[in-house]
């Protein structure tokens, strides 16, 4: 998966199975983990690796740029990622960029959020909601 450094904005490649370990930015040496922002997944392989290998739960937001409710929930997911850093990884899948992933999980409306545990779908919810409701629905 690609993790952007919060200090220098450099992109760093990091295996998902190392998400619970300490990792530093290759450029500025700032700490990369735990991710306190949603991770934008750029490929099907990144999605599969993260869901399969992450050491803990992964909350995936299926969204699209043209979707107003998706843009409304984006700052709420930022809050969830910051508040739950170290306990859950928050990721985003653009359904227009990765239609095969959206199709695999039968995404019919966006935003849809799916919580994966141990590589499998545990829960899902559709619709925009505040961070407190997201955390409550998924018991984060």
pTM for the whole thing?
Answer: 0.89
The secondary structure element, H or E, covering residue 80 is: helix 68-83
Is 115's pLDDT higher than 80?
yes
Q: Which of 8, 25, 28, 67 is catalytic?
A: 67
Is residue 8 annotated as part of the catalytic site, yes or no?
Answer: no
Going by pLDDT thresholds of 50, 70 and 90, the confidence category of residue 37 is: confident
Is residue 28 annotated as part of the catalytic site, yes or no?
Answer: no
CA distance 61 to 92: 5
Q: Which of 5, 25, 70, 84 is catalytic?
A: 70
User: What local confidence, expressed as pLDDT, does residue 18 receive?
Assistant: 77
Average of per-residue pLDDT across 16-38: 84
Q: Which residue has the higher pLDDT, 71 or 55?
A: 71
Average of per-residue pLDDT across 116-136: 96
Long-range contact set of residues 67-72: C-beta below 8 Å, sequence gap at least 24 = 67/110, 67/111, 69/110, 69/111, 69/127, 69/128, 70/110, 70/111, 70/128, 72/128
Which tens digit of pLDDT belongs to each residue from 83-104? 998 899 999 999 999 999 999 9
Domains and CATH numbers, the chain: 34-138 (3.40.30.10)
User: What local confidence, expressed as pLDDT, does residue 22 receive?
Assistant: 79
């Amino acid at each position: 998966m690609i993790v952007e450094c919060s200090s220098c904005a450099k992109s760093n490649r990091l295996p998902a199975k190392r998400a619970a370990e300490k990792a530093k930015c290759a450029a500025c040496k700032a700490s990369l983990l735990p991710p306190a922002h949603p991770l934008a997944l750029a490929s099907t392989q990144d999605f599969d690796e993260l869901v399969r290998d992450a050491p803990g739960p992964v909350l995936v937001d299926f969204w699209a740029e043209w979707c107003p409710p998706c843009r409304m929930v984006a700052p709420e997911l930022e809050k969830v990622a910051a508040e739950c850093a170290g306990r859950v990884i928050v990721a985003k899948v653009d359904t227009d960029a990765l239609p095969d992933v959206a199709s695999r999980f039968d995404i019919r409306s966006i935003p849809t959020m799916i919580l994966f545990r141990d590589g499998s779908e545990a829960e899902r919810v559709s619709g925009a909601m505040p961070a407190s409701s997201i955390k409550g629905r998924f018991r984060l």
